[in-house]
């Protein structure tokens, strides 16, 4: 279910359903991938890296991933305020899955004549 926060007492039919509930949607995987490559990013940096995401959607996705334990938000008490996001250990456990998905996407694109606008070694 899109937009949900994982609940420990929630019941799933299988492990795939549980996993997809956590990383559902088209933005979370991209956010996780960019955090993996950059280690720490601010909101504005994520918007630049994912230009088609709206600020509202980015905030929602970050909040859900933080609540699900995939990322951590660090707030600096300064003016202007500064907030940084990075992966948690639980978020880092997804990296082999993301790498496999990226490799599959590269191969699928080559085999089907799909043009990738970004450097495939990064995104």
All domains in the chain, ordered by first residue: 15-111 (1.10.10.10)
- State pLDDT tens for residues 23-64: 998 899 999 999 999 999 999 999 999 989 999 999 999 999
Cβ-based neighbours of 113, under 8 Å, separated by 6 or more: none
Residue 42, beta-bridge partner list: 84
Q: What is the pLDDT of residue 25?
A: 84
* Angstrom distance (rounded) from CA 74 to CA 2: 25
At 67-108, the pLDDT tens digits run 999 999 999 998 888 999 999 999 999 999 999 999 999 999
| DSSP string for residues in 11-69 | --SSHHHHHHHHH-SSSHHHHHHHHHHHSEEEHHHHHHHSTTS-HHHHHHHHHHHHHTT
What pLDDT shows up at residue 2? Answer: 46
């Amino acid at each position: 279910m899109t937009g949900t926060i994982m609940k420990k007492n929630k019941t799933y039919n299988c492990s795939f359903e549980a996993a997809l509930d956590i990383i559902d949607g088209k933005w979370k995987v991209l956010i996780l991938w960019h955090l993996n490559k950059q280690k720490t990013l601010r909101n504005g940096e994520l918007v630049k890296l994912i230009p088609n995401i709206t600020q509202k959607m980015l905030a929602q996705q970050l909040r859900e991933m933080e609540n699900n334990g995939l990322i951590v938000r660090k707030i600096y008490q300064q003016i202007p305020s500064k907030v940084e996001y990075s992966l948690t250990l639980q978020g880092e456990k997804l990296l082999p899955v993301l790498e496999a998905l990226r490799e599959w996407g590269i191969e699928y694109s080559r085999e089907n004549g799909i043009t990738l606008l970004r450097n495939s070694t990064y995104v």
